[in-house]
């Protein structure tokens, strides 16, 4: 498949870059971002929905400048289970509580990416390493517009939620709702994907190299889903009038809907 071949080639390049990433000692900038993340977690807990959580990051981050490398480094340090006091080079025990904050960490990193690409107004590359996390982070790549986000490791729910363009490349597996409400762009997952993939997507491409769960294409009104391994059941909503433009391919062949 042509699209898969292109993304495979791009993935090999970003994988090599991630593997060669060398993290230096934490800077004052990193302490600022870590402190901001910790303060934001308290506020995010009271937010009624994920969109407001995303907005809270944008509101809080205005005063701090950062780069794509800072985002990669922040993800790396979030794996330490430690809290770092601002401007001090002495770690104290307490930290990102993954049991309750797993979705917030992914959402926070994705909001930083959103802000950075809005400031730059051009396509950039972002590299996240999640392979050492004890659980999977949700909302990675939410609202991505034009950049390439590569993830070394597994991810949780809502990968590429509401993304408008660019690419997300995952070296690992994804959980539910891959490409939920995406309007454009490309998502490539080297491993498996959970249920409800392509939920309410209107355009773009999702490529799964291995297996996919049930309810594929639920509410899908456009775009294409490519599954190269085993696939679960197609969502019954794929027969509704507004879903007729969506297409699902299994091992290169277009899937004929099994419903009348």
Reduced 3-state DSSP string for the chain: CHHHHHHHHHHHHHHHHHHCCCCCCCCHHHHHHHHHHHHHHHHHCCCCCHHHHHHHHHHHHCCCCCCHHHHHHHHHHHCCCEEECCCCCCEEECCCCHHHHHHHHHHHHHHHHHHHHHHHCCCCEEEEECCCCCCCCCCCCCCCCCCEEEEECCCCCCCCCCCCCCEEEEECCCCCCCCCCCCCCEEEECCCECCCCCCCCCCCEEEECCCECCCECCCCCCCEEEECCCECCECHHHHCHHHCCCEEEECCEECCCCCC
Instruction: Compute the distance between CA of residue 35 and CA of residue 40 in angstroms, rounded to an integer.
Output: 8
Is the whole-model pTM more than 0.85?
A: no
The burial class, CB within 10 Å (0-12 / 13-18 / 19+), for 112 is buried
Residue 127: per-residue pLDDT: 95
Residue 155: per-residue pLDDT: 94
Residue 60: per-residue pLDDT: 72
Q: Is the dihedral of CA 260, 206, 103, 192 positive or negative?
A: positive
Instruction: Compute the distance between CA of residue 26 and CA of residue 77 in angstroms, rounded to an integer.
Output: 9
Residue 56: per-residue pLDDT: 72
Residue 79: per-residue pLDDT: 59
Record the tokens describing residue 95, joined without a space. 């930290």
Going from N- to C-terminal start, the domains of the chain cover 2-254
Q: How does pLDDT run along the chain (260 residues), one tens digit per residue?
A: 444 444 445 444 444 443 334 344 467 778 788 777 777 776 666 666 777 777 777 777 766 788 888 898 888 777 553 343 332 333 332 333 334 455 578 888 898 998 888 888 778 899 999 887 777 888 999 999 999 999 999 999 999 999 999 999 999 999 999 999 999 999 999 999 999 999 999 999 999 999 999 999 999 999 999 999 999 999 887 766 666 678 999 999 999 876 55
Which residues on adjacent β-strands are paired with residue 35?
A: none
Record the tokens describing residue 28, joined without a space. 């004052």
Residue 97: per-residue pLDDT: 39
Which residues on adjacent β-strands are paired with residue 133?
A: none
């Amino acid at each position: 498949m042509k699209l898969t071949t292109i993304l495979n080639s791009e993935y090999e390049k970003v994988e090599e870059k991630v593997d060669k990433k060398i993290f230096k000692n934490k800077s004052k900038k990193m302490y600022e971002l870590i402190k901001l993340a910790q303060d934001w977690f308290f506020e995010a807990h009271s937010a009624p929905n994920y969109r407001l959580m995303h907005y809270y990051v944008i509101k809080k981050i205005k005063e701090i400048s950062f780069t794509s490398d800072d985002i990669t480094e922040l993800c790396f340090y979030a794996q330490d289970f430690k809290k770092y006091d601002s401007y001090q080079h002495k770690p104290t025990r307490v930290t990102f509580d993954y049991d309750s904050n797993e979705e917030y960490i992914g959402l926070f990193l994705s909001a930083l990416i959103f802000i950075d690409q809005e400031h730059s107004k051009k396509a950039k590359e972002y590299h996240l390493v999640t392979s050492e996390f004890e659980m999977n982070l949700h909302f990675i790549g939410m609202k991505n517009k034009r950049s390439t986000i590569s993830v070394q490791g597994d991810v949780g729910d809502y990968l590429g939620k509401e993304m408008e363009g660019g690419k997300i490349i995952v070296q690992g597996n994804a959980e539910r709702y891959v490409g939920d409400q995406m309007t454009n762009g490309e998502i490539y997952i080297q491993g498996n994907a959970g249920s409800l993939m392509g939920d309410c997507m209107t355009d773009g491409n999702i490529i799964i190299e291995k297996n996919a769960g049930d309810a594929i294409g639920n509410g899908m009104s456009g775009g294409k889903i490519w599954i190269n391994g085993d696939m679960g059941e197609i969502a019954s909503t794929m027969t509704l009038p507004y879903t007729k433009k969506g297409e699902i391919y299994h091992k290169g062949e277009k899937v004929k809907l099994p419903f009348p």
